[in-house]
């Protein structure tokens, strides 16, 4: 099994005729995702390959339009969406009962079943480990190292690192805990905010499956944003050291380097 998407997931791509939309849309189709259609305002009737991608200023309207139409699961990979826009989108989507992943995220993939977003399918392989990450590039690195070590994945989820997003660590951890095929979980965090600390407490209180983690930004200077909009140390709670300590205090195995995740997984999967 997997979480959020599977082989029966049907996908509609917003902005499919754009440069990025057409490029990644084609990759998702080639991976086997059931892309049932695409939309771009003013371009009705066109064909794509004979058979989600909206700029930041228009992403908020696209997300709310999808939620208003009853789309149950919305993935927004667009970066640079204004935080003020997301304060409106978050409540709008939630009130209509839809689930949102993103913005500013790589999407998700259930290896061998379905891919929604930009995670490279060739580095993934089916297996018993779930992965949730705030960092897109670190998702790729850790998944690649797992696959090389013959440790497959149930679902890999990139939640994004913006201050306001639709799906957080706890949402994914809870879903992995309920998934009968997932035997262990990898959690990749980064500096800024307290999401990792809250997730670590959830692991201790609610989860029986082993969780291992890595925190990016261990040498980041205070007060400087590193990568994501939310990756900035503005207090002691946002430092990598504080987050790593929270992991240790709550039974989450801590990797010093991304490659060390593989060794931690080998121990808990024995």
For the stretch 27-70, pLDDT in tens is 999 999 999 988 887 666 555 554 467 789 899 999 999 999 99
Res 51: pLDDT: 43
Q: What is the dihedral of CA 61, 63, 67, 68, to 10 degrees?
A: 10
Res 266: pLDDT: 97
4 in any annotated domain: no
Q: How many domains are contained in the chain?
A: 1
Q: What is the pLDDT of residues 109-128, one digit of tens each?
A: 999 999 999 999 999 999 99
Check 48, 228, 246, 255 and give the catalytic one. Answer: 228
How many residues does the structure list for the chain? Answer: 270
Give me the CATH number covering residue 161.
Answer: 3.40.50.261
Res 222: pLDDT: 67
198 in any annotated domain: yes
Q: Is residue 177 predicted with pLDDT exceeding 50?
A: yes
Cross-strand pairs, 80? none
The parent domain of residue 207 ranges over 10-268
Res 223: pLDDT: 59
Return contacts of 237-242, CB within 8 angstroms, 24+ apart: 237/193, 237/194, 237/197, 238/191, 238/192, 238/193, 238/194, 239/191, 240/190, 240/191, 240/215, 240/216, 242/197
CA 41 – CA 44 distance, rounded (Å): 7
2 in any annotated domain: no
192 in any annotated domain: yes
More confident site: 254 or 19: 254
Res 235: pLDDT: 62
1 in any annotated domain: no
* Cα angle, residue 127 at apex, residues 124 and 9 outer, rounded to 5°: 70
Q: Residue 71 has which token pair?
A: 């789309």
39 in any annotated domain: yes
214 in any annotated domain: yes
How much of the chain exceeds pLDDT 70, in percent?
89
| Residue 228 is among the residues annotated as catalytic for this protein | yes
Q: Residue 235 has which token pair?
A: 């207090």
56 in any annotated domain: yes
Q: What is the pLDDT of residues 118-174, one digit of tens each?
A: 999 999 999 999 999 999 899 999 999 999 999 999 999 999 989 899 999 999 999
């Amino acid at each position: 099994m997997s979480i959020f998407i599977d082989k029966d997931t049907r996908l509609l791509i917003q902005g499919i005729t754009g440069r990025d939309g057409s490029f990644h849309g084609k990759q998702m189709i080639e991976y086997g995702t059931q892309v049932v259609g695409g939309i771009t305002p003013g371009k009705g009737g066109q064909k794509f390959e004979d058979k989600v991608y909206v700029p930041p200023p228009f992403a908020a309207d696209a997300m709310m339009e999808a939620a208003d139409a009853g789309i149950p699961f919305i993935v927004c990979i667009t970066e640079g969406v204004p935080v003020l826009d997301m304060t409106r989108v978050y409540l709008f989507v939630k009130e209509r009962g839809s689930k949102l992943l993103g913005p500013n995220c790589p999407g998700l993939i259930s290896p061998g079943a379905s891919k929604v977003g930009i995670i490279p399918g060739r580095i993934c392989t089916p297996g018993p480990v779930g992965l949730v990450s705030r960092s897109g590039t670190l998702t790729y690195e850790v998944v690649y190292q797992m696959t090389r070590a013959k440790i497959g994945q149930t679902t890999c989820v990139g939640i994004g690192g913006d201050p306001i997003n639709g799906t957080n660590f706890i949402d994914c951890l809870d879903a992995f805990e309920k998934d009968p095929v997932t035997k262990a979980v990898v959690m990749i965090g980064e500096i800024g905010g307290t999401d990792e600390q809250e997730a670590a407490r959830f692991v201790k209180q609610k989860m029986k499956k082993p969780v291992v983690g890595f925190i990016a930004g261990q040498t980041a200077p205070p007060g400087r944003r590193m990568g994501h909009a939310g990756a900035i140390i503005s207090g002691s709670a946002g430092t990598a050291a504080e987050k790593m300590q929270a992991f240790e205090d709550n039974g989450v195995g801590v990797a010093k380097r991304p490659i060390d995740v593989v060794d931690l997984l080998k121990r808990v999967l024995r």
